[in-house]
Structure 1
């Protein structure tokens, strides 16, 4: 690794370097634009910094067994652990909600244009989970919904715009990072497994009646 940049960087740049690396390791993604209350979508200074110092940050993270990647088309950076460690494990309901979010994004993909992110409400999401996509047989309780959406927000897959995640009226943006969080191939495979599990559980319940 070349340390030339570190020798010429200002203290302000070094502080930003540390903040960006910590953000990547804790949140997985850094997106091109973010929402600010009362302002709307604005350019993310951390994304600008990553773009300017990509190679230095990539080399540094490689020493920690993290591979820094970028998606220029959709506007985000993300990291993968080369030892496949430090994975975020989701339970069944959290997985179902993530899949529904991915499918919602897919539905809106054609009309997104340069905006890159889709906005929906918690109520819309739950309707998709249970009725339209039939990933879960019944609506999860709002505590489970809040827990799942908070995890996804913490990892920059979604971003809350207004309201609280345990309210049906809460609005949030689905960020383009969801495309790498759940690939099309993985989406179809997991939905199939979840539906088979639900059918099996329903069959077992019928047999015990």
Structure 2
């Protein structure tokens, strides 16, 4: 690794270097803009730092078997473990909610602004899960919804704008990072699997009756 950056960086730059690396390892993504109450979308200084010091961060994370990548069009950096380790495992309902977010993002792509965020509510997500695509047979309870959405916010897939995740009126932005988290091919495959599982479970229940 070229240690030139670390040798020449100021103490403030070193602190930001550590902060950005830890953020990538814990949250997967660093996005170009962030929502701030009263200000709307603002530039993310960590994204700007990565734009200036991409090679130094990439080389450092590479030593830890992480590959730093950049989606310039949609405005985010993200890491992928080259050993396919340290994956975030979701349960069935969390997976269904993630898929619903991806479907909502796809529905809104033609109307997205420059920031590439799709704004929706918890109610929109639940309707997509149960009514529009029938990924699940019934709505998850609000505690499960809050837990799933909090997890996804912690990984920079969504960002809350107003309200709480256990309220149907809660408004949040689906970030473009959803495109990497769930590709179009993976979306169709997983939705089919979930629907088949639900159909099989219903068939077993009918047989038991």
TM-score, with structure 2 as normaliser: 0.99
Whether 1:104 aligns to 2:114 is no
Q: Distance in 1 between matches of 2:91 and 2:169?
A: 24
Task: Show structure 1 runs of 4+ deviating over 3 A.
Answer: none
Q: Deviations over 1:130-158 (max 9, x none)?
A: 00011000000001000100110000000
Q: Which residue number corresponds to residue 87 of structure 1? A: 87
- Indicate if the aligned counterparts of 2:33 and 2:115 stay in contact, CA closer than 8 A: no
Q: CA deviation at 1:204?
A: 0.7
Q: Which residue number corresponds to residue 22 of structure 1? A: 22
Q: CA deviation at 1:106?
A: 0.3
The within-5 A match list for 1:173-188 is 173-188=173-188
Q: Distance in 2 between matches of 1:127 and 1:104?
A: 10
Q: Which residue number corresponds to residue 162 of structure 1? A: 162
Q: Which residue number corresponds to residue 78 of structure 1? A: 78
List runs of 5+ in structure 1 lacking aligned partners. none
Q: Which residue number corresponds to residue 118 of structure 2? A: 118
Q: CA deviation at 1:9?
A: 0.6
Q: Distance in 2 between matches of 1:75 and 1:133?
A: 29
Q: CA deviation at 1:5?
A: 1.1
Q: Distance in 2 between matches of 1:5 and 1:135?
A: 48
TM-score, with structure 1 as normaliser: 0.99
List runs of 5+ in structure 2 lacking aligned partners. none
SS in 2 for 1:160: strand
Q: Which residue number corresponds to residue 145 of structure 1? A: 145
Q: Which residue number corresponds to residue 190 of structure 2? A: 190
RMSD: 0.6
Q: CA deviation at 1:115?
A: 2.5
Q: Which residue number corresponds to residue 127 of structure 2? A: 127
Q: Which residue number corresponds to residue 204 of structure 1? A: 204
The count of corresponding residues between Structure 1 and Structure 2 is: 209
